[in-house]
Structure 1
Amino acid sequence: MAVSADCRISLSAAGQLRGATGLAGRNWRLVKFCNGEVMGMKLKQTQLQQSIGGVTKTVRQRVCMSLTADVAGEAKLRDLEMEKRDPRTAVAIILGGGAGTRLFPLTKRRAKPAVPIGGSYRLIDVPMSNCINSGINKVYILTQFNSASLNRHLARAYNFGNGVTFGDGYVEALAATQTPGEAGKRWFQGTADAVRQFHWLFEDARSKEIEDVLILSGDHLYRMDYMDFVQNHRQSGADITISCLPMDDSRASDFGLMKIDNKGRVLSFSEKPKGEDLRAMQVDTTVLGLSKDEAEKKPYIASMGVYVFKKEILLNLLRWRFPTANDFGSEIIPASAREFFIKAYLFNDYWEDIGTIRSFFEANLALTEHPPRFSFYDATKPMYTSRRNLPPSKIDNSKIIDSIISHGSFLTNSLIEHSVVGIRSRINSNVHLKDTVMLGADFYETDVEVASLLAEGRVPVGIGENTKIKECIIDKNARIGKNVIIANSEGVQEADRSSEGFYIRSGVTIILKNSVIQDGTVI
C-alpha cells in the first residue's frame, strides 16, 4: 500500500502490504503522509524502518515508507477522503412524521411529506433529492398517517422502472403495522419508536455493509450534502452527530438547544427552553466556524432534527439503553450526552421547518424573492420529483410580478403578484392573485367539460372570472367561481368553516381540496 503526496492510496492486487523479497528497487517509494493516519488509524512512525539497497533508513515524522508490487493493470488508486465518504456504507431513514395537526387542513387527506411545495414538488422530494445528490442510494421512508398519496408519489418518482434509478440501492416506504407480541400492538409513539419498530431492517443481508444511519425529517426545506455530514461524523469518531443551526434570540426558544465545548462536543441538551433556562444555553458559536460578528448575533446552537448514528450505537440505544424512549430530540439525545460522544455539525445555510400553516405559506412565498433564500433552480444539485409530461404553461395577455407559474397551467387576462401557481392551474379573465399559494390540480377538464359545467351553473376546476384573492392557500382541485373575493378583510386569525369549503389559520385562508366556492362568495 502506498500513500502519495495528494493522500491517495495504491493497493496491490492482493490488497495488502507485501514484503521486500523479489521486488525491484523501483517499486519502493517514499511518500508524504497526512497527519499520521491511514483510515483513521494512527501509525507509530518513529518505529518505521526499512532497508533499501543495503542502507537502513528511518522514516521521519509525517512521512510513511511504503511498498507496492508492480503488477501491471492491477494497481488501483483510492482516495482516502473518498473512502470515508463511501455512501455505500450509509443508509437514510426519512421519518414521515405524525398526524400533522399544525399543518391541518393540508394534512386532512395526506401525510406531511406529501404536502405540495414550490408549485410542482412535494416535501418528501427535499430529503430524497438531498440523498440522491449526496450519492446515498439506500433509503427507507417510515409512514403512519394518511400515507396513500405519499406512497403513490414515491412509487412514481423513485422506483426502478421509470423514475429516478438507484443502481444497487433501494427506496422503500414502510407503513406502521401491528404485529403479534406485546411490542407490536401499538402505532409509532415518536421518532425513536418508529425506528425501533423497524430495527430488524439492520439484520437484513442488504445492511451488512452499513456503518452509519442518517435520521432525516420529511417536512424540512433545505439543500444539504449528507455525505459531508457523514464524513465529518466519521472523522471525528463521534457516536452521534447532530446537524445544527446557529440561532438568534428571537427563535431560539422554539428549538432544542445544545451546549458544546471548544471542540464541538455536545455537553448538554435542552428542549425549547424559556427565560433563564434559555439564556443558560448560550455558547460561543465561533467554535463551529462563525465569525465573531455572526456569533454575537446568533449565540445559540439549535438542533435541526437531522442526525447520523453509528449503526451499532443506534441499535444499542433503541433496544437496550433506552428501550422505552419514544423521541430522539426530547429523550434519547439529552439522556445520551453524558455517556456517549455526541458532536455538533454546523449547517449555516437556509433551513426551514414546514411544520405550521404560517411557515408553509411564508416558505412558499419566499421562493419568489430576489434573490430567494432557497431556490429549486440548481443545475448541480437538482430537486427531483414525479415525471408528469405536462406541456408548458400558456399565458395570454397576463401580468406576472415576482411569481412562480408551474407547468401545464392556463392564465388568461390575469394579474399574478408575489404568488406561487401550481401545476395544471386554470386562471380566467380579470383574476387578481396576490400573496397566494395555489397548489394546482391533479387533472384537466376539457374545454367541452368546462363549457358544460358553466351551462349547468356549476363551477369548473380553477378560478373564475373577476375573482380577487390575497393571502390565501388554495388546495388542489378547488373550484372557485366568478366574482369571488377572498381577502379576510376583518383580519380573522382562526376559523373553521369546513362546510363552506375553507379554514383560517394564523390569518391565512385555506381553501380545501376539492371544495367548491360558489359565484359571488366573499370570505
Structure 2
Amino acid sequence: MKAIGIILAGGNNSRMQELSNKRAIAAMPVGGSYRSIDFALSNMSNSHIQTVAVLTQYSARSLNEHLSSSKWWDFGRKQGGLFVFNPTVTVDNSWWYRGTADAMYQNISFLKKRHEPYVIITSGDCVYKIDYNKVLEYHIEKKADITVVCKDMAPDVDVSRFGVVRMNEDSRIVEFEEKPMVSQSNTISTGIYIVRRRQLIEMLERSAEEGRWDFVTDILIRYKNMKRIYGYKMKEYWSNIATVESYYQTNMDFLKPEVRRYFFHDEPKIYSKVDDLPPAKYNAGSDVRNSLIASGCIVNSKVENSILFKKVFVGKNCVIKNSIILNDVYIGDNTHIENCIVESRDTLKANTYYCGDNGIKIVSENNERYVL
C-alpha cells in the first residue's frame, strides 16, 4: 500500500481514574485477549501497510513490552517494520510531547525519510475494524487534502467528549468542533485521518513555528476553510475506551454474540501478542454463564456476565457478576464482586464484598500475595 501509518499512543486522561495510573490507555486490556492498540496495529497489517510508527509517552513500559516484537502483527520485514518512538532529549529539543501535532513534529525525520505519498494517522485507544485501502481510495477520488473517518452516533450517546463534524451534500466537512458543550450534530470524528505526506510535513512545520501543538485544534479546525477536508463515514462497530464507563461498556459488548463473532471469527482477524498459558480450568463448583474466560484462569465458583482476563484465580464460594477482572488477579474464597473493574495483579482477600451501587466501581487493593 502506498501509505505509512502513525499511531498516537502517548496520551492519558483523568476520565480513566485509577486504571491509567500505571499504563497508557493504548495498553488497556480489551475483550479478554487483546490490548487496545492491537486493533489499530491489526488494521494497519490487514490493510498491507508495511511501515508503522507508534508514538508513546505516558507510562509506556507496559505498552513497550507489548510492542517488543513486531512479528505478532507481521511487520517484521526488510522493507518497512514497526517503529516505537518515545520523547527523546536532543541538542535541539528537551520537551516531552506537548500535543499530538508536536509528537509528530518531534519525529518528523521519520516522515521525511519515507517515500510513500500518504500517511494514515490513528489513535491507539479505539476498538474497531476498517480497511484503510477503501478510505484511501475515497480520499483520492475526492481529491481531498485531508480525509477524516467519521461515524454517526446514536441519539442517546453523549458526543461532548469527541470532535463533532458537520458535512455538506458532497461529504466535505464545513464545521468541526472539538468537544463541544452542546452540539447539533451526532456525527463524530473517530480520530482516523489520511493526509498526503508532504502536506503533513509542511503543516507540522508551520504549526511548530507558530507554537501550536495539537493536530485537531491547530491543523484540522484551523485549516478547514483553506483545505479540502472530507468525511468518510464508517458504519461498522467502533468504540473509544477513554473513560471508565466506555471502557466497561466496550468490554461488555464482547459478551454479545454478534460482536464476538465480528472480532473473533470474521475476517480480517485481530492479532495480539501471544502468551504461552494453559487453557482455562473449571473445577467442581464452577458455574460460568455468558462470560469470557481467558487462558490461564482457574475457576471454582459462579461467574456471570463477566470477563476474566489471563491468569485469574477465583476461589471457592465466590460470586462474580457484571464485572471485568484484569490480568493476574487472585480472588479469595467467599468473595462477592458485582459491577466492578478489578485492577490487574491484585489480590482480593477472602470474605470481602465489592459492589458498584451507583456506577462502575474500580477495585485496586494492592495486597501482598506472597509473604515470608
Give the CA deviation at 1:133: 1.2
Q: How many angstroms apart in 2 are the aligned matches of 1:220 and 1:481?
A: 34
Q: Say which of 310, 327, 332 aligns to 1:464.
A: 332
Q: Say which of 344, 365, 368 aligns to 2:255.
A: 368
- Contact in 2 for aligned 1:322/1:332 (Cα 8 Å): no
| Aligned equivalent of 2:170 | 263
| Aligned equivalent of 1:178 | 89
1:415 pairs with 2:286:
no
- Contact in 2 for aligned 1:365/1:419 (Cα 8 Å): yes
| Aligned equivalent of 1:347 | 234
Q: Say which of 112, 128, 135 aligns to 2:25.
A: 112
1:239 pairs with 2:145:
yes
Q: How many angstroms apart in 2 are the aligned matches of 1:202 and 1:345?
A: 24
Alignment of 1:33-182 (within 5 A): 87=1, 89-156=2-69, 158-159=70-71, 164-167=74-77, 168-181=79-92
- The structure having more radius of gyration, on CA atoms, is 1
| Aligned equivalent of 2:99 | 190
1:402 pairs with 2:290:
yes
- Contact in 2 for aligned 1:476/1:514 (Cα 8 Å): no
Give the CA deviation at 1:248: 4.3
Give the CA deviation at 1:359: 1.0
| Aligned equivalent of 1:296 | none
Unaligned runs of 5+ in 1: 1-86, 283-299, 442-460, 492-506, 518-523
Where 1:131 maps in the other structure, the secondary structure is: helix
Q: How many angstroms apart in 2 are the aligned matches of 1:237 and 1:513?
A: 54
Letter in 1 for 2:306: S
- Contact in 2 for aligned 1:214/1:309 (Cα 8 Å): yes
Where 1:263 maps in the other structure, the secondary structure is: coil
Where 1:172 maps in the other structure, the secondary structure is: strand
- Contact in 2 for aligned 1:193/1:327 (Cα 8 Å): yes
Q: Deviations over 1:290-313 (max 9, x none)?
A: xxxxxxxxxx32111110111111
Q: How many angstroms apart in 2 are the aligned matches of 1:435 and 1:104?
A: 19
Q: Deviations over 1:175-209 (max 9, x none)?
A: 0112223xx132111111111111111222xx12x
- Structure 1 stretches (4+) deviating beyond 4 angstroms? none
| Aligned equivalent of 1:13 | none
| Aligned equivalent of 1:320 | 206
- Contact in 2 for aligned 1:265/1:341 (Cα 8 Å): yes
- Contact in 1 for aligned 2:340/2:363 (Cα 8 Å): yes
1:393 pairs with 2:298:
no
- Contact in 1 for aligned 2:314/2:331 (Cα 8 Å): yes
Letter in 2 for 1:226: Y
Comparing 264-273 and 223-232, the one that deviates more? 264-273
Q: How many angstroms apart in 2 are the aligned matches of 1:274 and 1:476?
A: 34
Q: How many angstroms apart in 2 are the aligned matches of 1:403 and 1:315?
A: 47
Give the CA deviation at 1:259: 2.5
Q: How many residues align?
A: 366
Percent of pairs with identical residues: 30
Judged with a 3 Å threshold, the aligned counterparts in structure 2 of structure 1 residues 178 and 243 are, in CA distance, closer, same or farther, namely: same
Letter in 2 for 1:474: V
Unaligned runs of 5+ in 2: none
Comparing 257-266 and 431-440, the one that deviates more? 257-266
Where 1:214 maps in the other structure, the secondary structure is: strand
| Aligned equivalent of 2:360 | 508
Q: Deviations over 1:105-127 (max 9, x none)?
A: 12212111111111121111110
Q: How many angstroms apart in 2 are the aligned matches of 1:473 and 1:121?
A: 16
Alignment of 1:217-236 (within 5 A): 217-236=123-142
Give the CA deviation at 1:409: 1.1
Aligned CA-pair RMSD: 2.1
